[in-house]
Amino acid sequence: MTLPSNAFARVTHRMTGPGLRYPAEVTYAVSLDGPGSQTVASVLGSQFNTHVMPRLSDGILHSSTTLKVGPDEDGPSYVSTANQLGGRAGTAASCNVSWLVHKNSTLGGRRGKGRLYLPGVMEADVGSDGDMLDAQVTLMQTAMDAWYAGINGVSSVGTYVLEHAPGISAEPLPTAVLSLTVDGHAATQRRRMRR
């Protein structure tokens, strides 16, 4: 997928640390109502540090945030160093176990939904059936609500948006994400545990 114009930007939070076998990335897109800049990248990184990192294992380091404006082939890119450890001490789950967060929009079907995966799950938060503890789901949902509001409040950012794969006849415009919903089941990503 590629963004259609410089009215949109892709945000990538890169994570490293002893709790990950390989670096992990959390990626999403935003619309812009002002210019992209190093400052915007830095503030988006701060929002991630403030709202998301406290809910993740301290074996995870948020190392940087990249703001890539416009299509992949052109447009500026800005990188901001983050260096923020997760806020939860204790035994983490396997590095391929993640929180699954759904991106919700007004569109129906698969085209109107997206998802992201957050590493740094604590072992004690996952039951033997693969369900997350209800109390932890509630805390993560509160964090996601605050993060979503924080992203939409950043100067020069219009709103969190959902990217779409190219359509049959035209490149579809991204759709506004209305909310983020935390899944009550643990998710796994094989590529985070590859050989």
The tens place of each residue's pLDDT in the chain, 195 residues long, gives 678 889 999 999 999 999 998 999 999 999 999 999 999 999 999 999 999 999 999 999 999 999 999 988 888 999 999 999 999 999 999 999 999 999 999 887 766 789 999 999 999 999 989 999 999 999 999 999 999 999 999 999 999 999 877 665 556 789 999 999 999 999 987 655 555
Predicted pLDDT of residue 32: 96
In a domain, 2, yes or no: no
> Are the CB atoms for 120 and 97 separated by under 8 Å?
no
Give the C-alpha distances (Å, rounded to integers) separating 180 from 70, 162, 167: 24, 11, 25
In a domain, 140, yes or no: yes
Predicted pLDDT of residue 75: 86
In a domain, 189, yes or no: yes
- Quote the Cα angle for 29-35-40, to 5°: 60
Tokens of 182: 């935390």
In a domain, 121, yes or no: yes
| Site of tokens 């693969």 | 130
Round the CA-based radius of gyration of the chain to a whole number and report it. Answer: 16
17's CB contacts (< 8 A; 6+ apart) are 59, 60, 61, 85, 86
Predicted pLDDT of residue 125: 95
In a domain, 24, yes or no: yes
- Quote the Cα angle for 7-10-16, to 5°: 160
Residue 168 DSSP code = S
Residue-range definition of the domain harbouring residue 147? 8-193
pTM: 0.92
In a domain, 3, yes or no: no
Task: Give the span between the Cα atoms of 103 and 85, in whole angstroms.
Answer: 25
Number of independent structural domains in the chain: 1
Amino acid at 18: P
In a domain, 138, yes or no: yes
**Helix, strand, or coil (residue 91):** coil
